[in-house]
């Protein structure tokens, strides 16, 4: 369990830090301006040129698809432990991961396809995703039920000859707003009479299939996150070839277990980058402003907060590294407690640091003059996405209590 950077990681890290300094931070204003211009022009749901301009540079720099484990298809792949410090750095700017083809939900979808799709499905959908030519979405959560309990999912996947017919209303389908979104992974009930955890399946659905309606984008606090978006999507009699089924009928839970580990830990790594950036902005602001005759940075009430955040961030990072190490060595299933733990810890740290950083900035923290408000909105969703805090805490506690049951 060695958390020191290997020379390979150290080299990637330096290259990535350089790329951030050269290409990402200096383009933050351009990104905002381009999006604002699209919005003012009547359609914010368009790919942004700044991203498309930077992607080839990142690929050329060897900062591409780093999130995936090494394989024949992804020779540049890294272990989770190797990827962690890189992912954290990317997370400091919300749109940066896309530049490196490392952004959600594509990463989780690519990992799912890599593990569970047939070679022909891989060629059709995984390869263009790996090349950054298209994007994807994951359709699981439903408005009608408490989706935190995935057995509640009600969408139907029914066999009809060589096809499955899909029906259901999904929402919080992130990325469905992007015109480049070419493919969905869809979860639904294929075997309603099977055991509780064998009823669900996951299947690959081309975005242009007839019967799919992107009903509306949903806002997050006041943001619409264009051009990515989080959408309500209606599936009505959508027909998909049986060969698009992943792993096999009734194995959706099994995939979810495998899929959600990496997706969750990536969110946590990025959340740490967010927390670091928020703490940095907070310190700079406190250093620069004077009230009641002294710099606000001299107030011990802020010392308490800064110290607690420094502790919490460093501890969350160490726990994330431990979870990554375990995923790499003993597998996602055995690492499930650690994955659940960081899934609770990291987003909460990020939210709390951001809230305090906003407080330190006064009104400036609430608006987009600083990235804090937008980062807060995003980080707040992470306390719900991929399972709310409460569900993860319950899972952790049941494992702990089980260890102490009298035999």
Measured CA to CA, the distance from residue 255 to residue 43 in angstroms comes to 36
Length of the chain: 407
Measured CA to CA, the distance from residue 236 to residue 210 in angstroms comes to 8
- How far apart are CB 289 and a copy of itself at their closest, in Å? 4
Contact in structure between 113 and 125 (CB atoms under 8 Å): yes
> With binding defined as CB under 8 A, does residue 394 bind a copy of itself?
yes
Contact in structure between 117 and 203 (CB atoms under 8 Å): no
Binding to a copy of itself (CB under 8 A) within 250-279 occurs at: 279
Kindly tell me which residue out of 13, 180, 239, 284 binds a copy of itself, with binding defined by CB under 8 A. Answer: 284
Kindly state the tokens that stand for 73: 């298809």
Q: Which of 307, 195, 303, 203 is nearest to 247 (CA)?
A: 203
Site map (CB under 8 A) of a copy of itself, residues 343-382, x = contact: -xx------------xx--xxxxxxxx---xx-xx--xx-
Measured CA to CA, the distance from residue 319 to residue 343 in angstroms comes to 10
- How far apart are CB 177 and a copy of itself at their closest, in Å? 13
**Residue 135 or residue 230: which is nearer to a copy of itself going by CB?**
230
- How far apart are CB 154 and a copy of itself at their closest, in Å? 12
**Residue 104 or residue 340: which is nearer to a copy of itself going by CB?**
340
Kindly tell me which residue out of 115, 206, 310, 370 binds a copy of itself, with binding defined by CB under 8 A. Answer: 310
Kindly tell me which residue out of 11, 37, 311, 334 binds a copy of itself, with binding defined by CB under 8 A. Answer: 311
- 3 state SS of 130: helix
Measured CA to CA, the distance from residue 96 to residue 116 in angstroms comes to 28
Measured CA to CA, the distance from residue 287 to residue 278 in angstroms comes to 14
Kindly tell me which residue out of 283, 328, 352, 370 binds a copy of itself, with binding defined by CB under 8 A. Answer: 283
> With binding defined as CB under 8 A, does residue 288 bind a copy of itself?
yes
Measured CA to CA, the distance from residue 68 to residue 262 in angstroms comes to 9
What is the residue whose two structure tokens read 């309603």? 192
> With binding defined as CB under 8 A, does residue 303 bind a copy of itself?
yes
> With binding defined as CB under 8 A, does residue 398 bind a copy of itself?
yes
Kindly tell me which residue out of 104, 278, 316, 353 binds a copy of itself, with binding defined by CB under 8 A. Answer: 316
Contact in structure between 166 and 156 (CB atoms under 8 Å): yes
> With binding defined as CB under 8 A, does residue 397 bind a copy of itself?
yes
> With binding defined as CB under 8 A, does residue 17 bind a copy of itself?
no
**Residue 150 or residue 246: which is nearer to a copy of itself going by CB?**
150
Kindly state the tokens that stand for 31: 């990104």
Residue 156 burial by Cβ neighbours in a 10 Å radius (0-12, 13-18, 19+): middle
**Residue 165 or residue 226: which is nearer to a copy of itself going by CB?**
226
Size of the site for a copy of itself (CB under 8 A): 94
> With binding defined as CB under 8 A, does residue 388 bind a copy of itself?
yes
Q: Which of 126, 118, 213, 206 is nearest to 164 (CA)?
A: 206
> With binding defined as CB under 8 A, does residue 2 bind a copy of itself?
yes
> With binding defined as CB under 8 A, does residue 280 bind a copy of itself?
yes
Q: Which among 91-99, 233-241, 244-252, 290-298 is the span making contact with a copy of itself, rule CB under 8 A?
A: 290-298
**Residue 55 or residue 228: which is nearer to a copy of itself going by CB?**
228
Measured CA to CA, the distance from residue 263 to residue 246 in angstroms comes to 18
Q: Phi, psi at residue 32, to the nearest 5°?
A: -60, -40
Kindly tell me which residue out of 61, 145, 165, 214 binds a copy of itself, with binding defined by CB under 8 A. Answer: 145
**Residue 14 or residue 390: which is nearer to a copy of itself going by CB?**
390
Binding to a copy of itself (CB under 8 A) within 153-212 occurs at: 171-172
């Amino acid at each position: 369990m060695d958390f020191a950077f290997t020379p390979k990681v150290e080299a990637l890290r330096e290259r990535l830090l350089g790329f951030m300094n050269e290409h990402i931070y200096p383009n933050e204003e351009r990104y905002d301006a381009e999006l604002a211009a699209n919005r003012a022009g009547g359609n914010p749901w368009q790919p942004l040129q700044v991203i498309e301009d930077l992607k080839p540079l990142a690929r050329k720099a060897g900062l591409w698809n780093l999130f995936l484990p090494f394989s024949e298809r992804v020779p540049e792949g890294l272990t989770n432990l190797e990827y962690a410090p890189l992912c954290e750095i990317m997370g400091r700017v919300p749109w940066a991961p896309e530049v490196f083809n490392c952004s959600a939900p594509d990463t989780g979808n690519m990992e799912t396809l890599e593990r569970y799709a047939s070679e022909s499905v891989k060629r059709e959908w995984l390869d263009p995703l790996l090349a950054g030519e298209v994007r994807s979405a994951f359709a699981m959560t439903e408005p009608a039920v408490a989706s935190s309990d995935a057995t509640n999912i009600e969408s139907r996947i029914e066999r009809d000859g060589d096809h499955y017919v899909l029906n259901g209303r999904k929402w919080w389908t992130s990325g469905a707003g992007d015109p480049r979104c070419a493919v969905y992974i869809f979860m639904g009930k294929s075997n309603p009479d099977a055991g509780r955890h064998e009823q669900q399946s996951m299947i690959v659905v081309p975005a242009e299939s007839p019967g799919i309606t992107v009903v509306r984008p949903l806002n997050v606090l006041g943001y619409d996150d264009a051009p990515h978006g989080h959408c309500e999507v209606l599936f009505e009699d959508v027909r998909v070839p049986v060969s698009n089924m992943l792993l096999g009928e009734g194995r959706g839970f099994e995939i979810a277990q495998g899929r959600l580990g990496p997706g969750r830990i990536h969110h946590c790594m990025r959340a740490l980058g967010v927390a670091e950036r928020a703490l940095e902005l907070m310190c700079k602001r406190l250093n620069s402003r004077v009230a009641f005759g002294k710099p606000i940075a001299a107030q011990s009430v802020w010392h308490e907060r800064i110290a607690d955040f420094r502790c919490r961030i460093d501890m969350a990072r160490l726990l994330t590294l431990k979870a990554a190490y375990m995923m790499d060595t003993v597998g996602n299933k055995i690492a499930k407690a650690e994955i659940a733990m960081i899934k609770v810890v990291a987003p909460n740290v990020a939210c709390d640091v951001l809230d305090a950083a906003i407080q330190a900035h006064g009104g400036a923290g609430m608006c987009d003059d600083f990235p804090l408000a937008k980062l807060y909105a995003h980080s707040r969703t992470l306390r719900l996405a991929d399972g709310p805090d409460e569900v993860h805490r319950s899972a952790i506690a049941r494992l702990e209590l089980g260890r102490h049951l009298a035999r």
